[in-house]
Amino acid sequence: MTTKYTPLKDHDTPIKVLFTGYLCTVGIGYLFALIQILFTHGMADGKFGLSVDDIVYSYYGNRSGTVLEQKLNGSMKDNAPELERFQIMEWVREGADIDDYKSEGIDKIIESRCVMCHNKEASIPDFTELSGLLAFTEQDTGATFASLTRISHIHLFGISFIFMFVGLIFSFAETTTTQYKCIAIGMPYAFLVADIMSWWLTKIHPMFAWLVIFAGMGMGVSFMFMWVTSILEMWLFKPVFINGFGSRYLQWRDSPEASVADRVWFYLKVLVQQSKKAAVFAQDQWLTRAWPVVKQWLGKK
Ligand code: HEC
């Protein structure tokens, strides 16, 4: 079989250096992206490490209450007696009204119980002014519409470019069949769109947090696959694909019963052919049977 493209291993060294430089830089970028996710979203539920809760808190928010309430039931519990904590929470539940702050005596409680720590000199939030406290009396509804819009378009433009070039380099790979190549190259785009959509969906309902994880992993897997295959073919073709374990992969790939993708591909084609037939049949029925009736009926009116 003659290939219509130059396989990765046969490219000139300068081109290989260019491809490798790009792949390595983007790979490091991916690592930093993961670290960033770990530190921003990963800490959202207060525990280190990424979990479904983190994603729910980041996009949907923690709507079970305000930060102030959670703290008063949590780490700030010992700083005020039961009754006073209850008064503060009542005030928050009733909308944290500025006028009520004084009339209900909340200001006195905060002054006597909290300000010794939460003051201007401290590195923790300052409660000497009401505005400092109000920041913690709002319900946490997760990512804002504005921030979602911003990160959505940045991600769509930016990441599609990354996969443009990673996919282009990988398209010169020869150890992967055309079908699998199509899947590996197309998948990141499908997952990218699914990922962005899932943020918005998670903002509406926390159930979709799973989709965020699933889409993110799908993107990561296809990135890894294209990255590793491209690098191996360019620099380690002989040791891996001729003498090494990669040769067994190639044998397996070329054996008739191996390829799941081939079969999926086959059924997809059959499905398309069948639906074409069905469409022709439907059109035929419409023109010969339904349309005359409709025409007659319209003519009567
Ligand atoms: C002994 C000092 C001390 C007192 C008294 C104290 N706090 Fe705190 N507060 C802290 C520290 C330290 C933190 C940061 C660590 C944490 O979040 O647990 C904090 C954090 C908080 C936070 C979360 C801030 C954030 O950035 O998420 C809130 C809300 C809060 N305190 C409310 C109160 C209220 C209300 C009172 C009065 C009933 C109070 N605190 C009394 C020391 C204190």
Assigned token pair, 261: 């993708």
- The torsion defined by the Cα of 249, 254, 260 and 261, in degrees rounded to 10, comes to 100
Among 57, 66, 69, 71, which residue has the most ligand 1 atoms within 8 Å of its CB, making it the best to mutate?
A: 71
For residue 36, what pLDDT is reported? 85
Cα–Cα distance list, 219 to 30, 163, 201, 209, 266 (Å): 11, 10, 18, 16, 25
For atom 25 of ligand 1, the residue with the nearest CA is 125
Burial of 161 (C-beta count, 10 Å sphere; 0-12/13-18/19+)? exposed
Residues 165/25, Cβ–Cβ less than 8 Å: no
User: Is 11's C-beta closer than 6 angstroms to any atom of ligand 1?
Assistant: no
Spatial CB neighbours of 171, under 8 Å, sequence gap ≥ 6: 5, 181, 185
* pLDDT at residue 1 tops 70: no
For residue 232, what pLDDT is reported? 93
pLDDT bucket at 177, cuts 50 / 70 / 90: confident
Residues 131/160, Cβ–Cβ less than 8 Å: no
User: Is 278's C-beta closer than 6 angstroms to any atom of ligand 1?
Assistant: no
User: Is 75's C-beta closer than 6 angstroms to any atom of ligand 1?
Assistant: yes
Distance 35 CA to ligand 1 centre (A): 28
Burial of 176 (C-beta count, 10 Å sphere; 0-12/13-18/19+)? buried
pTM over 0.85: no
Which of these ranges, 10-19, 55-64, 154-163, has the smallest mean pLDDT? 55-64
* pLDDT at residue 48 tops 80: no
Q: pLDDT tens for residues 219-258?
A: 999 999 999 999 999 999 888 888 887 777 777 777 766 6
Residue linked to tokens 């084609």: 269
Mean pLDDT of the chain: 87
What average pLDDT does range 110-134 have in this prediction?
Answer: 90
Give me the residue spans of the domains in the chain: 8-58+142-254, 67-134, 271-301
Q: Please list, residue by residue across 226-238, b when 16 or more beta carbons sit within 10 angstroms of its beta carbon and e when fewer do.
A: bbebbbbbbeebe
User: Is 79's C-beta closer than 6 angstroms to any atom of ligand 1?
Assistant: yes
Spatial CB neighbours of 257, under 8 Å, sequence gap ≥ 6: none
Which of these ranges, 42-56, 123-137, 165-179, 181-195, has the smallest mean pLDDT? 42-56
Most confident of 48-57, 88-97, 224-233: 224-233
For atom 42 of ligand 1, the residue with the nearest CA is 117
- What is the biggest distance separating any 2 CA atoms in the chain, rounded to whole angstroms? 88
Q: pLDDT tens for residues 270-294?
A: 888 888 989 999 999 888 888 888 8
Q: What percent of the chain has pLDDT over 90?
A: 40
Assigned token pair, 119: 């003051």
For atom 23 of ligand 1, the residue with the nearest CA is 71
Which of these ranges, 15-29, 40-54, 94-108, has the smallest mean pLDDT? 40-54
* pLDDT at residue 261 tops 70: no
User: Is 112's C-beta closer than 6 angstroms to any atom of ligand 1?
Assistant: no
The distance from CA 149 to its chain's CA centroid, rounded to whole angstroms, is 14
* pLDDT at residue 37 tops 80: yes
Distance 72 CA to ligand 1 centre (A): 8
Q: Which atom of ligand 1 is nearest to the CA of 67?
A: 29
Say how many residues make up the chain.
Answer: 301
